[in-house]
Amino acid sequence: MTEILRIREAADYVRQHLGTADICIVLGSGLGDYDEALTNVRALSYSDIPHFPVSTVPGHAGKLLCGDLHGKRVMMMSGRFHVYEGHDLRDITRPTRVMALLGVKVLILTNAAGAVNTGFYPGDLMLISDHINLCGKNPLTGPNLDEFGPRFPDMSNVYDKELRNLAQRVAAKENILLREGVYTMFAGPCYETPAEVRMARILGGDAVGMSTVPEATVAVHSGMKVLGISCMTNMAAGILDQPLSHEEVMETGARVRDKFRKMLDGIVTDLTL
Ligand code: HPA
């Protein structure tokens, strides 16, 4: 079966069971329960959607939800797919293609990341201004899906400038410190070495993480606008004299939950589509 047929089958299934939406929010570590904010909600397990991969990470439930949020129709992906799980980038980004076919105009990507910028602190939120792809792969490799976008897409405004301005306005209104910086993607699953973190900093990175870049790339190729927000769950490896752990990442994620939710509430409320 060709990729476009897989995407269409998945999109038809989602449309039939959940309807459509204008906004999709991908919930990263720590934001997993933001789906509670949806009303008139309908949900599907990823395992029920044709051609969706199945998430294997603890804390990533693997559900697609659709409902109302502050007067908008919103899909939420609770659980995402990562390169380190062994998925192909085309599989990881198929849900993003499905969102494009369903008419989603704005994709909001959230994640947990390690702070590379030594001026940041664990618990800070960072608006992604741009990214560096160091995962060694690109989700657009292979035959171009002409239905979605061109072979050589422009990447000079991946994280939409107007949406970033909107996020900064919301942060100011809510009195939330919102950093802004470059997200550097490594494939994982191991955390980076201190040398890799120094390299990321020299290259211009402010944060390191293991997601987001594939979805953002495919969203731009599909003509969607993208907003990305990272939660700095820890200082990246080698900055502090202590090892990194998944528990620390989850704990900080839980601590900033309310701040992160406020940001998303404000952004969805103020978004004009
Ligand atoms: N590195 C990569 N991914 C991460 C980190 C990190 O330090 N923290 C949370 N996700």
Number of domains forming the structure of the chain? 1
183 CA → ligand 1 middle, Å: 11
200 lines ligand 1 (CB under 6 A): no
Confidence of residue 255 (pLDDT cuts 50, 70, 90): confident
- Residue 235 CA: which ligand 1 atom is closest? 7
Question: Is 55 or 95 the better-scoring residue by pLDDT?
Answer: 95
> Which element (helix H / strand E) includes 168?
helix 161-174
Q: Global pTM?
A: 0.95
148-196 pLDDT per residue, tens: 999 999 999 999 999 999 999 999 999 999 999 999 999 999 999 999 9
Confidence of residue 246 (pLDDT cuts 50, 70, 90): confident
pLDDT of residue 163: 97
Residues in the chain: 273
Tell me which of 121, 198, 208 to substitute to probe ligand 1's pocket, judged by most ligand atoms within 8 Å of the beta carbon.
208
pLDDT of residue 116: 98
Q: Six-digit token pair at 96?
A: 């993003």
Alpha-carbon distance of 260 to 266, in angstroms, equals: 10
Sequence-distant (6+) residues with CB within 8 A of 267 are 108, 163, 166, 167, 170, 227
Whether the CB-CB separation of 249 and 29 falls below 8 Å is answered with yes
Assess whether pLDDT exceeds 80 at residue 56: no
Q: What percentage of the chain exceeds 90 in pLDDT?
A: 84
Q: Active-site residues: which are they?
A: 29, 60, 82, 84-85, 112, 210-211, 234, 246
Alpha-carbon distance of 236 to 118, in angstroms, equals: 9
69 lines ligand 1 (CB under 6 A): no
239 lines ligand 1 (CB under 6 A): no
Alpha-carbon distance of 129 to 183, in angstroms, equals: 8
72 CA → ligand 1 middle, Å: 31
Confidence of residue 273 (pLDDT cuts 50, 70, 90): confident
> What are the Cα distances from residue 77, in Å, to 3, 11, 26, 51?
21, 14, 5, 15
Q: Whose CA is nearest to atom 10 of ligand 1?
A: 113
Assess whether pLDDT exceeds 90 at residue 61: no
Q: Whose CA is nearest to atom 9 of ligand 1?
A: 113
Q: In the beta sheet, which residues pair with residue 203?
A: none
Structural domain including 192 reads: 3-270
Confidence of residue 54 (pLDDT cuts 50, 70, 90): confident
Burial (Cβ within 10 Å: 0-12, 13-18, ≥19) of residue 194: exposed
CATH number at residue 118: 3.40.50.1580
247 CA → ligand 1 middle, Å: 12
Whether the CB-CB separation of 169 and 221 falls below 8 Å is answered with no
Single-letter residue type at 197: V
Burial (Cβ within 10 Å: 0-12, 13-18, ≥19) of residue 200: buried
78 CA → ligand 1 middle, Å: 19
Whether the CB-CB separation of 269 and 70 falls below 8 Å is answered with yes
Q: In the beta sheet, which residues pair with residue 208?
A: 114, 184
